[in-house]
Amino acid sequence: MKREEKASISIMKIICVTIIMILISGIGVMAVNTNLKDVKIILQNGYEMSTLTGKTTVSEILEENNIVLEENQKTIPDLNQEITTGQSIQITDKTYNEVQIAKISEEGVQTTLEQILENYAPITEKIVTEQVEIPYETVTKNATTTEQGTTSKVLKQGKNGLKEVTYKIKIQNNVEIERTVLSEKIIKEPVNKIVQVQKTVQTTSRASTTPRTAAVPTNGTTYKITAYCSCAKCCGKSTGRTASGTQATAGRTVAAPANFAFGTKLNIGGQIYTVEDRGGAIKGNKIDIYVNSHAAALQWGVRYLPVSVVQ
């Protein structure tokens, strides 16, 4: 009996070992057939986790790892995109601006999707309050006289006003890309400068009304200085051709009111520019400086600088 029991136990052991080997082989085959992928998941707080998955799309992989997106979150790539081994899934805020970093150039050079995704940049906003000078205007009053020559007399000196302006500023890659005025508060009203100009008239002729003329700065009058580029948003066209027929050039070209003849040299805040352009909104004490890009125009914003004619 003892020999039979020992033989029976040996047979049972052999059967158990065989079953275990069959199960291990089956699991190995299943693992190979599942086509597992090594994927990295980067959470919004910067935490990184690696997972071995047989799922194919971003949404399936997140669900498998019990990751639920909040309303203000998104993934890069999108939820319905398929993932291959070695790829990463980034969870980020929806305020990220998806900026195409390169376009097809004249030489035909193209960018790749990976290059675009690598150059996503967040947009931050901040509220800034600044005190801005309000330049006074010069009002010319004409008078006639029978005396020889033309004379002018300042009846009232002008004084700049002051206002408090609150802006909402958007910044991307440490560059200001948008500035919106939220509110303005007048602290001090400007006082207009009044100049009386007397011109000689012939006493024998019928007196005529002398038209008002715009004042040309000669001693550093403060002007409102803005900036523009050759894009359709700034000019309604993108040729870069000025009203005088020249090609607009940064550091040289300005758009000025009609009382400045084309070719007039202006000292604006210590730099010399040439009047080569006009603009429907360029009137009174306002001058537009040409820059190379729309981003540079937005970064310039609004400045109030002394302007004088270079003789």
Of 118, 137, 165, the one marking the end of a domain is: 118
Residue 26 lies inside a defined structural domain of this protein: no
Instruction: Name the token pair of 150.
Output: 């033309």
The whole-number pLDDT of residue 257 equals 92
Question: Where among 68, 90, 118 does a domain terminate?
Answer: 118
CA gap 228, 135 in Å, rounded: 21
Residue at 209 is within a domain: no
Domain assignment present for 101 = yes
Residue 241 placed within a domain: yes
pLDDT digits (tens, 9 = 90+) for 90-133: 998 876 654 444 444 444 445 555 555 545 667 888 899 999 88
pLDDT of 215 reads 46
CATH number for 61: 3.10.20
Residue 12 included in any domain: no
Q: Does residue 187 belong to any structural domain of this protein?
A: no
Q: In this predicted structure, what is the pLDDT of residue 93?
A: 82
Q: What is the pLDDT of residue 194?
A: 85
Could you say which residues of the chain have pLDDT below 50?
31-33, 98-109, 118, 146, 202-215
Which of 58, 90, 118 is a domain's end point?
A: 118
Number of domain units in the chain: 2
Scanning the chain, the segments in alpha helix (DSSP H) are: 2-34, 58-64, 113-118, 232-235, 294-300
Q: What is the pLDDT of residues 42-86, one digit of tens each?
A: 998 888 888 888 888 999 999 999 899 888 888 988 899 998 888
- Containing structural domain, residue 289: 216-311
Which residues are bridge partners to 42 per DSSP? 48, 90
Tell me the CATH number at 290.
Answer: 2.40.40.10
> Rounded to two decimals, what is the model's pTM?
0.33
Does residue 131 sit within a domain? no
Task: Please tell me the distance from the alpha carbon of residue 128 to that of residue 179, in angstroms, as a whole number.
Answer: 10
Number of H helices, E strands in the chain: 5, 16
Q: In what order do the strands lie in the sheet with 73-76?
A: 48-53, 37-42, 88-93, 73-76
